[in-house]
């Protein structure tokens, strides 16, 4: 697995430990869904201003959000063999992640790992627009993070 990392923020220092944890989450998501780990994912850390602009441009929502996922799959392609080795792009606001970590009472590391997990499932074709889809996707996220020992306690 190759992570194409672009750190465009100065809110959070990204150390080797955090990066390895992110990589383990990404690889675990692939294995959980039965894929090999020979794909690449673009991961960008940004500030609230940049993610707000991206959210406005791509989703028509003029506010900061925690994470945006840009899968290379279309709805019709989900759960098939990927033609390309790139799954897509994940953009995380580290500022928003910190706000949410404080709100939920867990670490910033845990929140970032959750957001990476959530986005990986989006890149693999999952969504949460309908209640049934949300239940399935959130169940997979919870199960995978629990298997990795990344709980709300950390």
Q: Find out whether 124 and 29 touch, Cβ atoms under 8 Å.
A: yes
Q: Check the annotation: does 79 bind a ligand.
A: no
The rounded percent of the chain whose pLDDT value lies above 70 is 92
- Residue 81's pLDDT is what? 55
Q: Check the annotation: does 122 bind a ligand.
A: yes
Q: How far apart are CA 72 and CA 21, in angstroms?
A: 24
Q: pLDDT tens digit string along 3-12?
A: 999 999 999 9
Q: pLDDT tens digit string along 52-98?
A: 999 999 999 999 999 999 998 655 555 545 556 889 999 999 999 99
Count of other CB atoms within 10 angstroms of residue 83: 8
pLDDT at 154 over 90: no
Q: Domains plus CATH for the chain?
A: 2-147 (3.40.390.30)
Q: How far is CA 66 from the centre of its chain?
A: 10
Q: Check the annotation: does 128 bind a ligand.
A: yes
Q: Find out whether 115 and 67 touch, Cβ atoms under 8 Å.
A: yes
Q: How far apart are CA 99 and CA 105, in angstroms?
A: 10
- pTM for this entry: 0.91
- Residue 31's SS3 state is helix
The torsion of the CA quartet 38, 133, 63, 150, rounded to 10 degrees, works out to -60
pLDDT at 120 over 90: yes
β-pair partners for 40: 2, 86
């Amino acid at each position: 697995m190759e992570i194409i990392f672009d750190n465009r923020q100065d809110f959070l220092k990204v150390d080797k430990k955090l990066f390895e944890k992110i990589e383990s989450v990404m690889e675990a998501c692939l294995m959980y869904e039965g894929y090999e780990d020979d794909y690449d994912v673009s991961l960008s850390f940004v500030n609230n201003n940049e993610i707000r602009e991206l959210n406005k441009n791509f989703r028509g929502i003029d506010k900061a959000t925690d994470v945006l996922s840009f899968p290379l799959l279309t709805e019709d392609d989900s759960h098939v063999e990927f033609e390309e080795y790139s799954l897509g792009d994940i953009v995380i606001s580290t500022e928003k992640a910190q706000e949410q970590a404080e709100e939920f009472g867990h670490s910033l590391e845990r929140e970032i790992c959750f957001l990476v997990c959530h986005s990986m499932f989006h890149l693999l074709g999952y969504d949460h627009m309908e209640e049934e889809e949300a239940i399935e996707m959130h169940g997979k996220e919870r199960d995978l993070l629990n298997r990795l020992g990344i709980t709300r306690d950390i």
